[in-house]
A = this chain, B = another copy of it.
Amino acid sequence: MRKIKELGEFGLIHQLSSRLKFRAPDSILGIGDDCAVYPVKSGMKEVISTDALVEGVHFKLSTTTPEALGRKALSVSLSDIAAMGGTPKRVLVTLGIPENFSVSFLDKLYSGFNTICNRFKVELAGGDTVSSPKCFFINVSVIGEANRVFTRQGAKPGDLIFVTGTLGDSSLGLKLLNRTKKDGSNDYKFLTEKHLDPTARVHEAGILARSKINITSMIDISDGLVQDLYHICKASKVGARIYEDQLPRSPEFARTCKKRSIPPLPLILNGGEDYELLFTLPADGAKNLNRQFLKAEVLVTQIGEIALKPRKVLLKMKDGAQNILSDSEGFNHF
Q: Which residues does A use to contact B, with CB under 8 Å?
A: 4-5, 8-9, 12, 28-29, 32-54, 56-58, 80-81, 83-84, 86, 90, 92-94, 96-97, 99, 125-135, 137, 139, 141, 143-146, 149, 151-153, 219-220, 235, 328, 332-334
Contacts and interface: CB of A to CB of B under 8 A. Distances in A.
A99 B134 CA distance: 15
A83 B141 contact: no
A216 B84 CA distance: 40
28 contacts: A9-B333, A28-B45, A28-B149, A33-B84, A34-B49, A34-B84, A34-B152, A35-B49, A35-B84, A36-B48, A37-B146, A42-B43, A46-B46, A46-B143, A48-B125, A48-B143, A50-B127, A50-B128, A50-B139, A52-B128, A54-B130, A54-B131, A57-B133, A94-B139, A99-B334, A128-B139, A131-B334, A143-B143
A35 B86 contact: yes
A46 B37 CA distance: 6
Contact of A151 (B29, B94, B129, B133): B29
A219 B32 CA distance: 12
A79 to B, nearest CB: 8
Contacts of A36: 47-49
A141 B35 contact: no
**Considering residues A93, A139, A152, A235, which has the most beta carbons from chain B within 10 angstroms of its beta carbon?**
A139
Contacts of A39: 45-46
Contacts of A151: 29, 33, 37
Contact of A57 (B32, B56, B132): B132
A58 B172 CA distance: 39
